[in-house]
Structure 1
Amino acid sequence: MAGFTLEHPSTRELTGGDLLAQCLKHMGVEVAFGLHGGHLDAFLMGCESIGIKLIDTRHETVAVQAAEGYSKIRDTIGVCFVTANSGYSNGLPGLATAYADRSPILCITSSPPLRDAENNSLQGQIDQVVVARPLTKFAHRVTHAEDAPRLVSHAIRTALAGAPGPVLLDFPIDVLFSPVTERLISWGSITSPLSYAPGPHAKAVEDTLALLKAAKRPVIITGTGGRSKEAGEALMKLAKTCGIPLFHSQKYLATVPADFELLGTHAGLLGVLPLLKKEQPDLALLLGVRTGMFLGGKSGGIIPNEGCKIVHVDVDSGEIGRTLPTDLGVTSDVTQMANALNASLESGFQGSVDASWVQAALSVKSLPSPFDTAPEEQSPGRIHPYHALKKVYSSIEPGCIIINDGGECGAWSNGLAATSKPFAVMSACGYLGFLGNGFGYSLGCAIAAPDRKIINIQGDGSAGFHFMELDTYKRFNLNIMTIVVNNFCWGMSSNGQELIYGTKNPARPVSDLSPTTEYETVAKGLGNAAAKVDKIADVESTVKKLQGTPGPSCINLVVDQKPIHPVTAIMVSVTDDPDTIVVPYYDNLPRPRYKN
């Protein structure tokens, strides 16, 4: 076919696995993450022949999440492979997080021969396509090798179109190992360019400008939909033209330089404005960000419930108005909407923005922390978690990619990460609150951006999920520094129980971890440079020494369980009101009252 040249292996006949690999290569795939299984060998040999780099992990969940991390940095499709049934089942958590967080990945799996369906064959009990459908945008079993070009193209386009997300193709082993009949190949749109992103309706642009011109306290809040370099440039231009601040959700992968004069911080800090006796926004321009947990839900703490108009721009019309009443909904890609607004503002912006309010809004990012004056060491051998991570971030070099994992550990880290002037900060837990994702994300980021240092922040709870991936980091000699923020417990769980049940009740069911675990010793055994740090005076020198060491490293950073992070208190929402039922992590309920 014109534009696609089949490459025939010199030592064997062309198989379905070869054709699949060549289709991926033609669609721009350079790397695939996975774990070996004999069902996939024909595909893996095809990748080797065509020049797709294979990165093998120690667990399939990590492989899928590495593809997701890669896609976040490269802003393209991420590809992973998992073998039949057992490997596939291990990969399901990765599909779930990618689906919840709208990450475009393609998962390749295999299964027993078609003739052995419902035959109690090896690794054939679970119908992988049926199981995958609720967790993907598209899942399909390929029954003829010659259909690979058509279906690979369709799957990748589906993953990237509209609200992005994961897709899955199941290639039975006989399809992968069978010779290809070239005259029967179904090419589909494998040689066609990808579709352009959707743009805004002209009236939507006009109406948005009218709302912007009328607003005195407008704010732009962006999210993962605005993570591309082009989106960042367009957003900065829009913010500067209109003189309005630019904030982001905690899920945002920064593409705006830290020194941009109108860049705020994560939108959660807009909730501080009332405490400063400052007014809240009267217009929220939501660009590529979903309402819900990362924007304060229905609480009104971040986006006021009254007196604030909302313009919501998203590639998925179904997200508009999902949580909050919306004054104007626009189905559009962030870059296209920002470019359209910028084009309409070429002659200037005639608005009524209150410049003093803008400065007040931006000031929240530099407010002193209430923990600055707290003792740096809570008790002998236990560093205050705030001071421990503050010292970490003042010690690492600018331009790193920071991955935040864990519960309270992630909360402490999220509040401090920007001080290191990173290239990007990624909140690993996502909408599922899924701990352990950071290991796969770190791997994907390290492969996507090999010239940058990766800082993999883990709590000692989240570290337990995939710590063996430090072996993967060493095999590929990746510049990943894993920092285990070790407080000997599941911090948010233990502290949440304390908030709910009080200090007089000593019970803390299933929330303790071992104080004797030597993460630095395990890391050394896996080939990583490593150290234990339990004194604030040793943090800077240790971080700088290990960051200057080529390859992966690990720090066992021992911190105290206290104080309870404010985020935990906010999420648990404890109250003394006898008429309220506390529902941790969600909205509380009124207590029903019955009359006799």
Structure 2
Amino acid sequence: MLLTGAEILIKSLIDEGVETIFGYPGGAVLNIYDELYKYKDKINHILTCHEQAAAHAADGYSRATGKVGVCIATSGPGATNLVTGIATAYMDSIPIVAITGNVPKSLLGKDSFQEVDISGITMPITKHNYIVKNVEDLQRIIKDAFYIAQEGRPGPVLIDIPKDITANKGVYKSLITRERCKDKNILNEEAIAEVIQYINDSKRPFIYAGGGIVSSEATDELITFAEKINAPVSTSLMCTSAFPFDHSLYTGMIGMHGTKASNVAATKCDLLITLGARFSDRVISNQNHIKNAKIIHIDIDPAEINKNVKVDSYIVGDLKDVLNRLIPVIDEKKNKEWLDFIDSIKEKKTFKEDDCNELTPELLFNKLNNLNDGNFIITTEVGQHQMWAAQYFNCRNRRSFLSSGGLGTMGYGLGAAIGAQIGSPNKRVFNIAGDGSFGMNCNELATVVKNKLPIVTIILNNNSLGMVRQWQMLFYDGRYSETTLNRETDYVKLAEAFGARGFRVIEKSELDYVLNQAISSKEPVLIDYVINCDKKVFPMVAPGAPINQIISEEDINNN
């Protein structure tokens, strides 16, 4: 069948099961958008206000559903506006396919209008990228792109298509979908035997679980594995929601803003079992901090082994496969003394509303926890509010906490919320924002309203760039350089201007009513939740310090 490149593209996307695309049209992709118009009964296109939000929406869609997210932009600035979203997906190993238009082949390399070498620009932040030079290659490239985005360690793939390729005609035919082999894990038997021996010999095992657990859909296996060896479990930010928050073995988040139990356990264990995590500098990056433990690292990406921390034993492979291989053959353990010690340092969550005289993050998330019936998805921007959400919100279902971990992208949350809500229409999506981050993407409220998405955005409004201000207080003697915003923005009026409902909460007595109104509403809602600018995120570990050297709020109050 002879079709234009644009037709081949759209049909190929349908073949890959794509139902939604997030994007923004322009001259170089007009042929593609003309075909999208013809196929609008099969592919839902969400027009964002800015291409960066299209990339974040594709990312959020993928994180919430486990599918590949797809975004599209025109050449030049349209393509470069995708870059931050692509980098965000790359750092967090999220499978998206980004499609960009470009000038016709004859104009490439001539500084033509709206021409940019997007393939060169994105080479360091994609698993792979393509410039389509022949329409006959387009169908194969699309199929390969979806395969590469998902196989092994997931990540973004970019396809750059010159405009004449979308107009030229080529043969469209049935192609066999390549099965994801996960490298068919020719698992190293010696490595497996060695890991088993380390686990069986350990008296104080401790699990540090990362985003690989989510990517490999290995939550059930992680629970079974942890219960069999009775090992406490900590999670990275990327693994939040992948282990039950109320499980007796769960110690909470690990790292700079991790719990005391997680951070101390990492330094007291005799075996650190790292699953699908990369030893980020915000978690554990100094070998000396965990020098008393043997370290096992299981990851699908061989490049991560011994990159940041030298390990004693490792297995390269898909976590679901590896854990299913280990569970039947490892010894069952009790570890009573070790678990008793962990329980003794766990900080019990005991929040009493009557003890709270002002609006605080704890109060907000306690209310949300009480209202959550297991149907909530949380997206976050980046900053103090992000850490408070990770610390205080009790995720009751998998893939329910979406946050920019590796890149720390302010402006991520609202775009991601759009993607999550489109991908999970029966869930209630909350975007947790700070007033600083919200200013970077508030225009996407127009997208939310236009598409009648019942997203609730909650701005923890402290009139400052809170996380940077916190560092300035702790490490720069309180020199608050450009972190006090002093903006006169009325977020309630702003929400109403976009067509959303707006509420402001400045008193405790208002909160229940506002949250109930927001949750019962079928339309977009924004809540301006006003908090003190001096509220800090604790516990905290100073950059470069051992993770068990924990700064608490009491430490600050006592200098």
TM-score (norm 1): 0.84
Aligned 8 A contact 2:128 2:156 in 1: yes
Cα distance change on mapping 1:168 and 1:33 into 2, 3 Å: same
| CA distance in structure 1 between the partners assigned to 2:541 and 2:253 by the alignment | 19
| CA distance in structure 2 between the partners assigned to 1:562 and 1:395 by the alignment | 28
Matched, 1:168 2:163: no
Q: Partner amino acid for 2:336? A: A
Cα distance change on mapping 1:52 and 1:391 into 2, 3 Å: same
- State the partner residue of 2:413: 438
| CA distance in structure 1 between the partners assigned to 2:67 and 2:374 by the alignment | 25
- State the partner residue of 1:262: 249
| CA distance in structure 1 between the partners assigned to 2:352 and 2:538 by the alignment | 11
- State the partner residue of 1:358: 339
- Choose from 511, 532, 535 the match for 1:539: 511
Aligned 8 A contact 2:245 2:252 in 1: no
Aligned 8 A contact 1:396 1:544 in 2: no
Cα distance change on mapping 1:253 and 1:36 into 2, 3 Å: farther
Matched, 1:42 2:31: yes
Q: Partner amino acid for 1:361? A: I
- State the partner residue of 2:362: 386
Task: Please give the secondary structure, in 1, of the residue aligned with 2:433.
Answer: strand
Residue by residue over 1:293-312, the C-alpha shift from the partner in whole angstroms, topping out at 9 and shown as x without a partner, is 34232176xxx522211110
- State the partner residue of 1:236: 223
Deviation of 1:562 (Å): 1.7
Aligned 8 A contact 1:273 1:280 in 2: no
Q: Partner amino acid for 1:77? A: V
Aligned 8 A contact 1:438 1:457 in 2: yes
Aligned 8 A contact 1:488 1:512 in 2: yes
Deviation of 1:91 (Å): 1.0
| CA distance in structure 1 between the partners assigned to 2:77 and 2:262 by the alignment | 52
Deviation of 1:369 (Å): 6.8
- Choose from 91, 97, 100 the match for 2:91: 100
Q: After alignment, is 331-340 or 400-409 more displaced?
A: 400-409
- State the partner residue of 2:376: 400
- Choose from 171, 179, 193 the match for 2:179: 193
Task: Please give the secondary structure, in 2, of the residue aligned with 1:295.
Answer: coil
Residue by residue over 1:535-587, the C-alpha shift from the partner in whole angstroms, topping out at 9 and shown as x without a partner, is 1121122111111100221100000012332356734979xxxxxxxxxxxxx
Aligned 8 A contact 1:474 1:551 in 2: yes
Cα distance change on mapping 1:214 and 1:252 into 2, 3 Å: same
Cα distance change on mapping 1:210 and 1:299 into 2, 3 Å: closer
Q: Runs of 5+ in structure 2 lacking a partner?
A: 547-559
Cα distance change on mapping 1:90 and 1:364 into 2, 3 Å: farther
Q: Partner amino acid for 2:138? A: A
- State the partner residue of 1:284: 272
Deviation of 1:462 (Å): 0.3
- State the partner residue of 1:581: none
- Choose from 490, 499, 507 the match for 1:518: 490
Matched, 1:28 2:28: no
Residue by residue over 1:440-486, the C-alpha shift from the partner in whole angstroms, topping out at 9 and shown as x without a partner, is 21111111111111110000000001111111112222221100110
Deviation of 1:373 (Å): 8.7
Aligned 8 A contact 2:267 2:290 in 1: no
Matched, 1:129 2:119: yes
- State the partner residue of 1:591: none
Task: Please give the secondary structure, in 2, of the residue aligned with 1:62.
Answer: helix
Q: Partner amino acid for 2:393? A: A
Deviation of 1:429 (Å): 3.2
Matched, 1:227 2:217: no
Residue by residue over 1:319-361, the C-alpha shift from the partner in whole angstroms, topping out at 9 and shown as x without a partner, is 011122201011111101101012335xxx254x422422543
Task: Please give the secondary structure, in 1, of the residue aligned with 2:98.
Answer: strand
Residue by residue over 1:242-296, the C-alpha shift from the partner in whole angstroms, topping out at 9 and shown as x without a partner, is 2223321111152344444433322348762499899722111111111123423
Aligned 8 A contact 1:34 1:82 in 2: yes
Cα distance change on mapping 1:149 and 1:230 into 2, 3 Å: same
- Choose from 324, 327, 333 the match for 2:312: 327
- State the partner residue of 1:376: 357
Aligned 8 A contact 1:292 1:298 in 2: no
Aligned 8 A contact 1:477 1:551 in 2: yes
| CA distance in structure 2 between the partners assigned to 1:311 and 1:204 by the alignment | 10
| CA distance in structure 2 between the partners assigned to 1:54 and 1:232 by the alignment | 32
Aligned 8 A contact 2:382 2:437 in 1: yes
- State the partner residue of 2:425: 450
Flag the structure with more relative contact order, 1 or 2, with Cα contacts below 8 A and sequence separation at least 6. 2
Aligned 8 A contact 2:5 2:166 in 1: yes
Task: Please give the secondary structure, in 2, of the residue aligned with 1:297.
Answer: coil
- Choose from 147, 153, 167 the match for 1:177: 167
| CA distance in structure 2 between the partners assigned to 1:53 and 1:358 by the alignment | 50
- Choose from 57, 65, 68 the match for 1:77: 68
Aligned 8 A contact 1:273 1:279 in 2: no
Q: Partner amino acid for 1:41? A: L
Q: Partner amino acid for 1:358? A: L
Q: After alignment, is 272-281 or 313-322 more displaced?
A: 272-281
Number of equivalent positions? 542
- State the partner residue of 2:132: 142
Cα distance change on mapping 1:404 and 1:570 into 2, 3 Å: farther
| CA distance in structure 2 between the partners assigned to 1:291 and 1:452 by the alignment | 32
Cα distance change on mapping 1:524 and 1:396 into 2, 3 Å: farther
- 1:579-594 → structure 2 map (5 Å cutoff): none
Aligned 8 A contact 1:150 1:186 in 2: no
Task: Please give the secondary structure, in 2, of the residue aligned with 1:251.
Answer: helix
| CA distance in structure 1 between the partners assigned to 2:352 and 2:200 by the alignment | 40
| CA distance in structure 2 between the partners assigned to 1:312 and 1:569 by the alignment | 23
- What value does the CA root-mean-square deviation take over the aligned residues? 2.8
Aligned 8 A contact 2:63 2:402 in 1: no
Residue by residue over 1:129-178, the C-alpha shift from the partner in whole angstroms, topping out at 9 and shown as x without a partner, is 12121221212210222211211122222222222221111111111122
Deviation of 1:42 (Å): 2.3
Aligned 8 A contact 2:195 2:314 in 1: no
Task: Please give the secondary structure, in 2, of the residue aligned with 1:325.
Answer: coil
Cα distance change on mapping 1:120 and 1:216 into 2, 3 Å: closer
Cα distance change on mapping 1:388 and 1:284 into 2, 3 Å: same
Q: After alignment, is 192-201 or 286-295 more displaced?
A: 192-201
Cα distance change on mapping 1:362 and 1:443 into 2, 3 Å: farther
Q: Partner amino acid for 1:169? A: I
Q: Partner amino acid for 2:418? A: L
- Choose from 463, 467, 470 the match for 2:442: 467
Aligned 8 A contact 2:287 2:310 in 1: no
Deviation of 1:426 (Å): 2.9
- Choose from 74, 87, 94 the match for 2:78: 87
- State the partner residue of 1:367: 348
Q: Partner amino acid for 1:168? A: L
- State the partner residue of 1:577: none
Residue by residue over 1:371-426, the C-alpha shift from the partner in whole angstroms, topping out at 9 and shown as x without a partner, is 9897532xxxxx334334434443444331111223122222221012x6355443
- State the partner residue of 1:497: 472
| CA distance in structure 2 between the partners assigned to 1:40 and 1:483 by the alignment | 35
| CA distance in structure 2 between the partners assigned to 1:92 and 1:262 by the alignment | 39
| CA distance in structure 2 between the partners assigned to 1:543 and 1:375 by the alignment | 18
| Bigger Rg, structure 1 or 2 | 1
Cα distance change on mapping 1:86 and 1:149 into 2, 3 Å: same
- State the partner residue of 1:315: 300
